[in-house]
Amino acid sequence: AQSVAQPEDQVNVAEGNPLTVKCTYSVSGNPYLFWYVQYPNRGLQFLLKYITGDNLVKGSYGFEAEFNKSQTSFHLKKPSALVSDSALYFCAVRDTGRRALTFGSGTRLQVQP
């Protein structure tokens, strides 16, 4: 079985400050991990993914994520938040040999000016 937990329903951060959105996962084999962002009434936009290799993955719009196998975490980070980053962020995982993604419940990021 594969599962994802996003422990924070909402994260508030001031513009210009660093941001972190947390994600932990559970899989039987090796994880494939993803981050997506969703703006109101829009589909999901791909930010980045981890398959293998470097634990620090760089993605779109200045976002990056750090894979930590011992903590089974894949936290999303950005050095300096923008008001336009305010949106709903989803972490997703799939196990080796499967194609279905399991998504977390989402974290709403609010960046205040």
In angstroms, give the least distance from the CB of 94 to other proteins.
Answer: 9
Question: Across the chain, which distance is largest between two alpha carbons, in Å?
Answer: 44
Determine the Cα–Cα distance for residues 39 and 58; give it in Å rounded to an integer.
21
Chain position carrying tokens 């994260």 = 11
Is 75 a binding residue for other proteins by CB under 8 A? The answer is no
Q: Report the residue from 50, 106, 109, 111 that binds other proteins according to the rule CB under 8 A.
A: 106
φ, ψ (nearest 5 deg) of residue 62: 85, 5
- Choose between 34 and 67: whose C-beta lies nearer to other proteins: 34
In angstroms, give the least distance from the CB of 98 to other proteins.
Answer: 7
Residues 6+ apart with CB under 8 A from 54: none
In angstroms, give the least distance from the CB of 2 to other proteins.
Answer: 10
In angstroms, give the least distance from the CB of 70 to other proteins.
Answer: 25
**What is the number of alpha carbons within 13 Å of residue 45 lying toward its C-beta?**
15
Which amino acid is residue 10, in one-letter code?
A: Q
> Which residues from 25-64 bind other proteins, rule CB under 8 A?
34, 36, 42-46
Which residues of the shown chain bind other proteins in the complex (CB under 8 A)? 4, 34, 36, 42-46, 90, 92, 98-106
